Amino acid sequence: MILFETIDDLVVRHLQAGPIDWWAAATRAPFDRIGFLAAFSGAGRRLGRGFVDEAAQLPTTLAEQGLLALGRPWADLGRICMLLSLPARTPFTELQPLAAEAYRTGDLAEKQAVLRALAFLPEPLAFLEIAADGARSNALAIAEAITCDNPYPVKYFSEDALNQMTMKALFNALPLSRIVGLTARMNADLIRMARDYGKERRAARRSISQDLAMLEQEGRAL
Amino acid sequence: MKLFDPHIHMTSRSTDDYEAMAKAGIAAIVEPAFWVGQPRTHVGTFEDYFLSLLGWERFRSSQFGIRHFCTMGLNPKEANEPRVAAGVIELLRRYMEKDGVVAVGEIGYDEQNEVEHHYFKTQIELAREFELPILIHTPHRDKKRGTERTIELVKELKFPPELTLIDHNNEETLPMVLNSGCWAGHSIYPNTKMDESRMVSLVKQYGSDKMIVNSAADWGVSDPLKVPKVAAAMRAGGFEDDVISKVLWDNSVRFFAQSGRLDLDEVSAPIPVDQRSLWEGNSVLRGQSPRVDNEKP
């Protein structure tokens, strides 16, 4: 798990003399379900409230693999790393239910981290239900975590699910440019939905966003 | 002036309330877990309630630039419900670790019976284990005796008084709460509990140390703007801004910061409601036109 090691290295440097023992237990100790979930919850205050900035000198590996870290909270990166530590510590049969529980019982930030980690776990399709729930969420912070800057939907969503998510992004004014790789999955049904939506908005004399106009034009400028 | 409402059940309130609260200067709130107007009959309903306090409600609040924290606990009324009580205590262990949880509460007495006593005690121990302060509800009926018993229990368990906030005080209970070294909460209600002018008199008489004011607004007849209304009443009563700010902001921040989960710098930083930008790393932009405060031309 090269990605795990890369993030682990970043977090250790970030923590410096901080709760390094806590971090070691959260990512390396023999696996214990309750302990893991508790550490996952408490990661916010232990990793600090700061955001990852240029000073972190992010290695290119992260961007190459499609993981956006710059500008995100350290706790988010740390929680993703904790999830990535699991394949080496627990059988896959336990990993899926654990990710599901971390998501189900998570607060906003925990849910976001689970959604951002899904694409980097083994057998990502096993986590489709979690991703779909995230895309359906009415809390924009959660929907955004699966919709934006996340390689998961374009790689693993069905066409219907991807179209629903894209239309929801339009409704919520989440920029389509943040749906990673959307151009590759452009399809006739999505363009039809966009054109119908455009007609609805024009009939109601509402504005047409640039993203909607672009999608009506078959996403050519995307 | 920034104001803190350290006890308000926003789950029961509308977005109009959030908007009015933000406009009136409320910048942070604590939403204690309490009962929802009728008894719940399944532990699972509590779990969804806890999750909504950490998720949806927190998100809703952020849309109005208000920082949202919560407390977790089995309330005294439903401690009497054997179908849920023990199960909720088990559940709490899972939720105490959460970042937005700044105390164990509301806990305490309602009828002041043995069952309530048992769960009150259990949850004080839980607070000790998770290094959290406690938020205590005092009963409506036989209030003075209930408050005495509360103070006795906190003392008996040697729980630190500086980590204890005893709520819903009135003229009869306040002196003993302050003498105990605990923090004293006051719920300003339209008809019952405490009102603005009595609150002003209490601060005049007892000073501003460890004094906390909240609206306790919920699903009943209540007013989410009671904290700003107390600010106005205190100003009219001749108090300087530093004292008003101490009672209506600093004291709540200081008390709940003891949880280690309410960052002083973070909570003190102004949050411009700029829905185009990121807030706590989350875009809060909605389908409607973005609302932007203090935009430069």
Query: What is the DSSP annotation of B96-141?
Result: TT-TTEEEEEEEE-SS--HHHHHHHHHHHHHHHHTT--EEEEPPST
- Is pLDDT of B286 > 70? no
User: Residue B193: pLDDT band by 50, 70, 90 thresholds?
Assistant: confident
Distance CA B6, CA B226 (A): 12
Provide the mean pLDDT of chain A. Answer: 94
**Contact between chains at A45 and B99 (C-beta distance less than 8 A):** yes
Same domain, A153 and A188: yes
Select from A104, A122, A140 the last residue of a domain.
Answer: A122
Calculate how close chain B gets to A137, using CA atoms only, in Å. 9
Same domain, A140 and A207: yes
Regarding beta strands B278-279 and B282-283, do their DSSP bridges make them parallel or antiparallel, or are they unpaired?
Answer: antiparallel
Q: How many CB pairs under 8 A join A and B?
A: 74
- Is pLDDT of B285 > 80? no
The answer to whether A139 faces chain B, any CB pair under 8 Å, is yes
Same domain, A114 and A135: no
Neighbours of B68 (CB within 10 A): 21
Query: What digits encode the pLDDT tens for the residues B206-222?
Result: 999 999 999 999 999 99
Same domain, A9 and A77: yes
Span B254-262, average pLDDT: 95
Contacts of A51 in chain B (CB under 8 A): 281
Same domain, A200 and A152: yes
Query: What digits encode the pLDDT tens for the residues B115-165?
Result: 999 999 999 999 999 999 999 999 999 999 999 999 999 999 999 999 999
Structure tokens at A106: 């998570």
Same domain, A117 and A130: no
- Please report, rounded to a whole number, the percentage of residues in chain B having pLDDT higher than 70: 91
Distance CA A45, CA B100 (A): 10
Query: What digits encode the pLDDT tens for the residues A89-115?
Result: 999 999 999 999 999 999 999 999 999
Number of folded domains that form chain A: 2
Torsion angle of alpha carbons B78, B80, B86, B89, nearest 10°? 40
Select from A122, A141, A163 the last residue of a domain.
Answer: A122
Name which of A102, A147, A98 is nearest A122 in CA terms. A98
Regarding beta strands B183-187 and B67-72, do their DSSP bridges make them parallel or antiparallel, or are they unpaired?
Answer: unpaired
Calculate how close chain B gets to A36, using CA atoms only, in Å. 11
A169 contacts: CB under 8 Å, gap ≥ 6: A147, A148, A175, A176, A178, A179, A211
* pLDDT at B279 (0 to 100): 44
Same domain, A162 and A66: no
Range in A48-57, B224-233, B280-289 with the lowest mean pLDDT:
B280-289
Task: Tell me which residue in B99, B266, B284 faces A140 most closely, judged by beta carbons.
Answer: B284
Name which of B8, B9, B87 is nearest B47 in CA terms. B87
Task: Tell me which residue in A72, A139, A172 faces B55 most closely, judged by beta carbons.
Answer: A139
Select from A71, A101, A122 the last residue of a domain.
Answer: A122
Span B250-274, average pLDDT: 83
User: Which structural domain range is residue A159 located in?
Assistant: 125-222
* pLDDT at A18 (0 to 100): 79
Lookup result for tokens 């932009």? B285
Q: Which CATH superfamily is domain B3-270 in?
A: Metal-dependent hydrolases (3.20.20.140)
Same domain, A90 and A140: no
* pLDDT at B276 (0 to 100): 41
Query: What digits encode the pLDDT tens for the residues B68-117?
Result: 999 999 999 999 999 999 999 999 999 999 999 999 999 999 999 999 99
